[in-house]
Structure 1
Amino acid sequence: MEDGEKVFFGVRADSRIFDLYRTLLMEPEGPAARVQPARPAPIPAATRIRIVNFVLNSKTAAGDTLEDLVKNGVFETRFALHKGEDDLKKKWARWRNMVHKQPIDDIRDYFGEKVALYFAWLGWYTYMLVPAAVAGLVIFLSGFSLFNASQIRWGWEAWATVFLEIWKRQRARVVLHWDLYGWDEDQEEMALELINCPDYKLRPHQHSYLRSTAILTLCLLMICLMIGMAHVLVVYRVLAAALFNSALLFQEEQVTTAVVVTGALVHYVAILIMTKVNKRVALKLCDFEKPRTFSERESKFTVKFFTLQFFAHFSSLVYIAFILGRINGHPGKSVRLAGLWRLEECHLSGCMMDLFLQMAIIMGLKQTLSNCMEYLGPWLAHKCRLIRVKLGHASEDPELRDWRRNYLLNPVNTFSLFDEFMEMMIQYGFTTIFVAAFPLAPLLALFSNLVEIRLDAIKMVRLQRRLVPRKAKDIGTWLQVLETIGVLAVIANGMVIAFTSEFIPRVVYKYHYGPCRKGADPAVE
């Protein structure tokens, strides 16, 4: 259909393709083979979109893919049409539904299992944050009244373990309801390839010690770069402390707080920059590794990108928690930067205060600014596209009007859902790894997630083109990422309590040196 200067092409696959798809995925020894229904069930719209998209991704007879044709200017873009989304708009993509249960089955029918499992996991994670947020708030408030007497610690890692185990049961319940236990992602990808090329053969695994060594070396170099960023922040904090002292901008007791606050802001800006760099590096490494299938490529990319992001986000926190103030030397022989400036010390109340401020600023900025930009960015972009393009007359063909409406929505790509997962993984890391220093992290995460769910729903249904549905029976490599974060949380929080806080020195003093070491003394408060 022609629309002024643009020409729209509607693509709908022949029913024989879906019959072949159904035949290729049929299990010979499964219940479907033993009990054949009189009439096969209709192919869902999400499956139709996924198959058509896979066909369009394949190479043409000339050896070009659709992406090549887009780069050459033959086509501008491609997108799946939003059809029948009104029900989701009413039940899901509204702010008034913030505290209502999500329609996971409807999300699965419209966006596919992978998106539905993401929202099922996010909803369960948010639900489990409620008791954690209440406990964290109680601990934080009680700290003010009991600070001089004792320090309260809470076993958050036990919460993380319970959350993961219950989520596995929840996921199994959902997948059983969808009848996906016998489904395999690699098997489906092979079936889709056979639809296009009957002579298709699976690419053999190509192991190369040289390639693996090169990839490992490049990953280590990037990690060293992240650690180097932490050292740059150390230099900044030293120079900022000297500047604030010489310029008399703050009182002496306020200098440390000012340095921590500005250092956290600088670290946040560095995180935004390095996120884009890390994504490009991880993609290049995956292409160099030559994975066999798309699912294998996605898994390898997830591991590499998360590893780089972890060091980008937590390097400065590790420095503050375990290094700050411990390499300064001693009076008469203090360590100085360039022989002039002394290295920074911890806050007067201890290093826990520095870690608390750093986490509060970074997490607060990341949650608030990310949510704002995540909604305002697509909303403004959509409004600008509507302003630039004339909507035409109301009497035109309704199908063309629907195609144009979908075209004016914001584009999506293969990373649209991946970025949402990555954002939640980093947040989960903040709420577990150093929660001993910042017990309000679960409360911030709870409020952020309540907004995040509706922001993602509104963005996917109202502001963006339709995501290509993908089939899945779990959240994939992200589950291993969650388990890794849980292990790191046990180690990090134990080290924070042992080395950063004053918990152990207080206990040692109380039972070995204090006036009440041999029992209660009525003369001592």
Structure 2
Amino acid sequence: QVTHMIDNEGTVLFAMFMAIWATVFLELWKRQRATVVTDWDLYRWDEDEEELALELINNLQHEPRRYQHSYFCSTILLLLALLMIAVLIGSAHALVVVRVVAMALFAQSSIELLREQANTVAVMAGAVLHYITILIMTKVRTPAAGSGACSSTSILPSHSIPLPQVNKKVASFLCDLEKPRTFSQYENNFTMKIFTFQFFTHFSSLIYIAFFLGRINGRPGSYVRIAGKWRLEECHPSGCITDLFIQMAIIMMLKQTISNVVEYFGPWIKLKLRRRKQRPKKRNVILEEDEEAEDPCKRQWRDNYELNEVNRFSLFDEFLEIVTQYSFTTIFVAAFPLAPLLAFINNLVEIRLDAIKMMRLYRRMVPRKANDIGIWLQVLEAIGILAVIGNGLVIAITSNFIPMQVYKYTYSPCATGNRTDVDCLTGYINHSLSTFRIQDSELDSEMPEALLDRHEVKEYRDYRNTEDYSHTAQFWHILAVRLAFLILFEHVALCIKLIAAWYIPDVPQSVKNKFLERKHNNLRKDLRWVMPRRCQG
């Protein structure tokens, strides 16, 4: 039922719709951003210019830091980033090994349910382990004050940023190498590194399941084995897209529920302990209580001070969480169509929890000027392009959509046009099976002779010849159609995205007219002083 729900003709239209929706969403966000920053008179505000102005106010002899670039440092930085990505991909390979061993153990279990559903249970266990890996790699902890991660010449000390636990040392070392010139440059570079690490942490295992699971495990009689013992796992009998569906469903639901509980009750418990610790000191001072009763402002300041401490980057993790959720909602949405619905429900709950946290559990944040969300917008645009590529690959490679269409229009009873009273996919399952001789098995010497006599031939899902087990012409035919569909889908989707981006202006006409009127009034004021002088001359 799951395969029928997500592996059909409507999946292509849904994936195309999500690609268009992602573009329209970003374009509408740009329009809303332009309206808001215009109302706050920040449309043409320059953060670098304001930083220079503040430096000059503090010291008129201040000299700006010059732009510098070192190819050696850039090369080292790139190699270290690639090394970190390789480690994250290696963790996904470790999960593969764990799933293979777990499936072998479940298949030999004394519990009948585990034996019959060994593949599904192994996939679910792997999804839970993947989520635990995500927690370990992305767990947030604010370093202790004074433990600066960057050098003294860096713009921002590390104790003001909540860093992912595992990525903290890597980000700190990269900060030492880069030595960004301005705070905004540091912020952009830091964001890109952390998001890249987070992306591979979340999606490495999903990429393996989507595009490699069941395709590198060999064939009957010549299976690929780990340590010569455990055979690589295969896809679910209903198709590889079912494994991807289960993996994404478990990760997304666990991530949303547990994250919301921890993010809310963590600060709440911390605040309760903080107030219990400070209560004896404050209740014994009668004079201060009288002053608070007379001065409401002082009482409000004290109440705000008693809340949990915040720092300048308190919203960074909120941005990162939302962008990660946006990735789950768009990338691989063809395999998990429920992702947008789960994200919508989660946002309805989380927006209230975040409001309660900011108003009741944390101190008021120090306001900071900004006319956009910075490099996050470019990250969202990159995710939109990755979504087109990812969904195209899922439909073309992971799902059975292409093999079914090839059978329907080439080999089915409807292909000749003579039979119209039967389903065009009748006989598809048998047509997609290949035969294997039991005597060619790797374990034929260990099998009883009676078993070999009763079952001389076994069927498995693949397109191979019976004699030498090489791929049939139909396999290459389907592969060619897969590649053709992938190229066609991506080009059409990207063209539609570009047309949608062009069709919806980034800046509303009201904002443009407001700037035009402002420019016209300024020119009129300037010419009012120039024209009389010319007339007098």
| Both structures adopt the same fold (TM-score exceeding 0.5) | yes
Does 2:12 match 1:162? no
CA shift, 1:407, in A, is 2.7
| Aligned counterpart, 2:346 | 448
| Aligned counterpart, 1:397 | 291
CA shift, 1:151, in A, is 5.4
| Aligned counterpart, 1:295 | 184
Shift of the 157–279 alpha-carbon distance from structure 1 to 2, 3 Å rule, reads farther
| In 2, Cα distance between equivalents of 1:358 and 1:305 | 23
| Aligned counterpart, 1:428 | 326
Asked whether the 8 Å contact 1:237–1:260 carries over to 2, the reply is yes
Unaligned 5+ segments in structure 2 are 139-164, 424-537
CA shift, 1:182, in A, is 2.1
| Aligned counterpart, 2:132 | 269
Asked whether the 8 Å contact 2:408–2:414 carries over to 1, the reply is yes
| In 1, Cα distance between equivalents of 2:9 and 2:51 | 58
- Find the partner of 1:308 among 197, 214, 225: 197
Matches within 5 A, 1:57-96: none
| In 2, Cα distance between equivalents of 1:466 and 1:516 | 68
Asked whether the 8 Å contact 2:3–2:242 carries over to 1, the reply is no
CA shift, 1:178, in A, is 1.4
CA shift, 1:404, in A, is 3.6
Does 2:70 match 1:198? no
User: Could you report, residue by residue, the CA deviation over 1:483-519 in whole angstroms, capped at 9, with x for unpaired residues?
Assistant: 0100100001000000000000010000000000133
| Aligned counterpart, 1:518 | 416
Matches within 5 A, 1:407-418: 407-418=305-316
- Find the partner of 1:182 among 21, 25, 44: 44
CA shift, 1:163, in A, is 0.9
| Aligned counterpart, 1:505 | 403
| Aligned counterpart, 1:378 | 267
Asked whether the 8 Å contact 1:328–1:334 carries over to 2, the reply is yes
| Aligned counterpart, 2:75 | 213
Opposite residue 485 of structure 1, the aligned amino acid is I
| Aligned counterpart, 1:361 | 250
Opposite residue 221 of structure 2, the aligned amino acid is G
| Aligned counterpart, 1:28 | none
- The percent of aligned pairs where both chains have the same amino acid is 62
Secondary structure at the aligned position of 1:439 is classed as coil
- TM-score, length basis structure 1: 0.70
CA shift, 1:294, in A, is 0.6
CA shift, 1:401, in A, is 4.3
Matches within 5 A, 1:102-251: 143-144=4-5, 152-153=11-12, 154=14, 155=16, 156-249=18-111, 250-251=113-114
| Aligned counterpart, 1:460 | 358
Opposite residue 187 of structure 1, the aligned amino acid is E
Opposite residue 274 of structure 1, the aligned amino acid is M
Asked whether the 8 Å contact 1:431–1:441 carries over to 2, the reply is yes
| In 2, Cα distance between equivalents of 1:479 and 1:487 | 13
CA shift, 1:377, in A, is 0.7
| In 1, Cα distance between equivalents of 2:72 and 2:236 | 48
CA shift, 1:522, in A, is 3.6
Opposite residue 307 of structure 1, the aligned amino acid is T
CA shift, 1:206, in A, is 2.3
Does 2:494 match 1:494? no
| In 2, Cα distance between equivalents of 1:519 and 1:279 | 64
User: Could you report, residue by residue, the CA deviation over 1:444-496 in whole angstroms, capped at 9, with x for unpaired residues?
Assistant: 00011111212111111111012121101111100000001001000010000
User: Could you report, residue by residue, the CA deviation over 1:97-132 in whole angstroms, capped at 9, with x for unpaired residues?
Assistant: xxxxxxxxxxxxxxxxxxxxxxxxxxxxxxxxxxxx
| In 2, Cα distance between equivalents of 1:251 and 1:290 | 54
Greater shift after overlay, 267-276 or 213-222?
A: 267-276
Opposite residue 218 of structure 1, the aligned amino acid is L
CA shift, 1:181, in A, is 1.6
Greater shift after overlay, 322-331 or 248-257?
A: 248-257
Does 2:228 match 1:339? yes
Greater shift after overlay, 478-487 or 175-184?
A: 175-184
Shift of the 343–141 alpha-carbon distance from structure 1 to 2, 3 Å rule, reads closer
| Aligned counterpart, 1:52 | none
| Aligned counterpart, 1:254 | 117
| In 2, Cα distance between equivalents of 1:359 and 1:236 | 18
Aligned length: 384
| Aligned counterpart, 1:388 | 277
Opposite residue 281 of structure 1, the aligned amino acid is V
Asked whether the 8 Å contact 2:334–2:395 carries over to 1, the reply is yes
| In 2, Cα distance between equivalents of 1:268 and 1:186 | 39
| Aligned counterpart, 1:107 | none
Asked whether the 8 Å contact 2:2–2:242 carries over to 1, the reply is no
| In 2, Cα distance between equivalents of 1:383 and 1:195 | 42
Larger Rg: 2
Opposite residue 229 of structure 1, the aligned amino acid is S
Matches within 5 A, 1:17-56: none
The alignment's C-alpha RMSD in Å is 1.9
Greater shift after overlay, 347-356 or 167-176?
A: 167-176
Secondary structure at the aligned position of 2:235 is classed as coil
CA shift, 1:409, in A, is 0.8
Greater length-normalized contact order (CA 8 Å, ≥ 6 residues apart): 1
CA shift, 1:521, in A, is 2.0
| In 2, Cα distance between equivalents of 1:176 and 1:339 | 66
| Aligned counterpart, 1:76 | none
| In 2, Cα distance between equivalents of 1:358 and 1:142 | 14
User: Could you report, residue by residue, the CA deviation over 1:380-420 in whole angstroms, capped at 9, with x for unpaired residues?
Assistant: 11111111112414733226544442232111123311110
Secondary structure at the aligned position of 2:415 is classed as coil
Greater shift after overlay, 492-501 or 149-158?
A: 149-158
CA shift, 1:280, in A, is 3.9
Opposite residue 396 of structure 1, the aligned amino acid is D
| In 2, Cα distance between equivalents of 1:176 and 1:519 | 63
Opposite residue 504 of structure 1, the aligned amino acid is I
| In 2, Cα distance between equivalents of 1:225 and 1:514 | 47
| In 2, Cα distance between equivalents of 1:256 and 1:404 | 58
| In 1, Cα distance between equivalents of 2:412 and 2:329 | 35
Opposite residue 262 of structure 2, the aligned amino acid is M
Opposite residue 85 of structure 2, the aligned amino acid is I
| In 2, Cα distance between equivalents of 1:375 and 1:475 | 24
Asked whether the 8 Å contact 1:279–1:305 carries over to 2, the reply is no
CA shift, 1:143, in A, is 4.9
Does 2:318 match 1:318? no
Asked whether the 8 Å contact 1:283–1:301 carries over to 2, the reply is no
User: Could you report, residue by residue, the CA deviation over 1:273-311 in whole angstroms, capped at 9, with x for unpaired residues?
Assistant: 112212442233123200011111000000111001100
CA shift, 1:141, in A, is 9.4
